[in-house]
């Protein structure tokens, strides 16, 4: 007997026919944009493969080591490959880096000293970084508590204000900080091209200022990375884009050799640096995930485009817009109501392969000033390269969608989220009429 996809979407997933037809219509409207995403994917796949081959990756590199990890050849190979992929002098890739925020803070606390000044030229950073710096919350061991100065330069219409950024630099400025991704903001991700323009302008006048980029959610969304356009050091999370859904934990730092060495000394101890630190047998997962990452990221980007098209068609503001250049995997939808954010996230959770029966609730998540609701039914807990969505419970009530290991899973997630809003009479049902 022939199996019809609409039948299983109706009977098992309980998705209304109007929702299915509407999503299919929006999919047809954006399919021509998939070609560019596939071109980026193919380029990045070649880049990853080239680095693995040039590093002579071998099956023996996946063997376990123990103790201090002095003989962990797999760890050294991972870092050589990451350095090649990101066109940098050196890399630190460790499973014990807890998150993207942990990787970024490790860089900042390693390179900045009391009296140094840090300037964010992409406005206020992500919520967890605000607490780590010390401009929000009341945590101990923040940068401000250690006597590091901080200021920020607002964006202009979502773009870096290069002139004001340069004017803000003083003789105390040690580092300029750039957050590539949208975070919990109302602006699109900063493109690598625009990051490069800002770096070039800064370096022409201030060669000694270190430019650091938070690359979370941005890896492999473009053919080049911030380290290709002059970033001195860059950090990200392995359970986001570069882990490809297989890395179980960890973070990476890539950049200038002298800077990476300082970070390594901070991560272990001066004199030990990169020479110790066990990988706990994760080399295979980390590298197989990296190998798959260009493809997985392309699937997530196609899913983000579909989410944007679906909700834009219903009259919601979206960031980025459908025709905008994309430099991360995040699609933000402005719902203007906490109920809509909650139902959207519940729909994404119900489409998950893991914990689909769990109902996400807004809670006081560590590192966030407001309650956060998070749909994250991943094989790796908290993995935002897998189908996921979240949002802070504050006005103007954005939901931030990201990830999806396969486009087909993304599409089911979109349908389930919309079906929740449809059944809850939270959208204008007339707009779903084909």
**What's the chain's average pLDDT?**
95
Structure pTM?
0.95
Helices (H), ranges, 134-245: 162-168, 192-205
Q: What phi-psi label fits residue 158: left (phi over 0), alpha (psi between -120 and 50 degrees) or beta?
A: left
Task: List the domains of the chain with CATH numbers.
Answer: 5-42+295-432 (3.90.1150.60), 63-290 (3.40.640.10)
Q: What is the CA radius of gyration of the chain?
A: 22
DSSP state of 222: S
pLDDT digits (tens, 9 = 90+) for 288-321: 999 999 999 999 999 999 999 999 999 999 999 9
pLDDT digits (tens, 9 = 90+) for 32-45: 999 999 999 999 99
3-state secondary structure of 175: strand
User: What percent of the chain shows pLDDT beyond 70?
Assistant: 99
Q: Report the distance separating Cα 81 and Cα 287, nearest Å.
A: 9
pLDDT digits (tens, 9 = 90+) for 226-272: 999 999 999 999 999 999 999 999 999 999 999 999 999 999 999 99
Q: In what order do the strands lie in the sheet with 117-120?
A: 90-94, 251-255, 233-237, 210-214, 173-179, 117-120, 149-152
Contacts of 2 (CB under 8 A, 6+ apart): none
Q: Which residue has the tokens 């002298």?
A: 258
Which of 298, 409, 239 lies closest to 417 in space, CA to CA?
409
């Amino acid at each position: 007997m022939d199996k019809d996809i609409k039948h299983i979407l109706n009977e098992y997933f309980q998705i209304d026919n109007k929702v299915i037809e509407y999503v299919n219509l929006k999919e047809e409207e954006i399919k021509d944009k998939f070609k560019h995403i596939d071109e980026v994917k193919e380029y990045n796949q070649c880049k990853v493969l080239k680095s693995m081959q040039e590093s002579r990756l071998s099956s023996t590199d996946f063997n376990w080591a123990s103790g201090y990890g002095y003989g962990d050849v797999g760890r050294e190979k991972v870092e050589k490959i990451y350095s090649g992929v990101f066109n940098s002098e050196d890399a630190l890739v460790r499973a014990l880096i807890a998150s993207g925020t942990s990787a970024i803070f490790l860089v900042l606390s390693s390179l900045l000293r009391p009296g140094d000044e840090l300037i964010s030229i992409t406005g206020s950073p992500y919520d967890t970084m605000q607490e780590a710096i010390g401009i929000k919350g009341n945590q101990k061991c923040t940068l401000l508590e250690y006597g590091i100065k901080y200021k920020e330069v607002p964006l202009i219409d979502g773009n870096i204000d290069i002139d004001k950024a340069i004017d803000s630099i003083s003789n105390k400025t040690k580092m300029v900080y750039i957050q590539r991704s949208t975070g919990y903001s109302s602006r699109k991700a900063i493109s690598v091209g625009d990051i490069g323009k800002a770096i070039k302008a800064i370096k022409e006048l201030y060669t000694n200022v270190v430019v650091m980029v938070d690359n979370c959610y941005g890896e492999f969304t473009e053919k080049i990375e911030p380290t290709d356009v002059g970033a001195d050091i860059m950090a990200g999370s392995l359970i986001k884009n570069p882990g490809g859904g297989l890395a179980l934990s960890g973070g990476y730092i890539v950049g200038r050799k002298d800077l990476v060495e300082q970070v390594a000394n901070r991560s272990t101890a001066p004199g030990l640096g990169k020479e110790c630190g066990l990988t706990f047998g994760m080399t295979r997962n980390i590298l197989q995930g990296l190998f798959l990452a260009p493809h997985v990221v392309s699937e997530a980007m196609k899913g983000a485009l579909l989410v944007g098209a679906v909700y834009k068609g219903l009259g919601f503001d979206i960031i980025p817009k459908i025709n905008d250049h994309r430099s991360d995997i995040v699609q933000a939808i402005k719902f203007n109501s906490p109920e809509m954010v909650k139902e959207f996230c519940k729909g994404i959770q119900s489409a998950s392969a893991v914990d689909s029966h769990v109902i996400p609730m807004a809670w006081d998540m560590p590192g966030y000033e407001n309650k956060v609701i998070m749909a994250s039914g991943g094989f790796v807990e908290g993995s935002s390269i897998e189908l996921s969505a979240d949002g802070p419970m504050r006005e103007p009530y954005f939901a931030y969608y990201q990830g999806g290991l396969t486009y087909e899973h993304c599409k089911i997630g979109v349908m389930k989220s919309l079906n929740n809003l449809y059944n809850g009479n939270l959208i204008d049902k007339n707009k779903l009429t084909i």
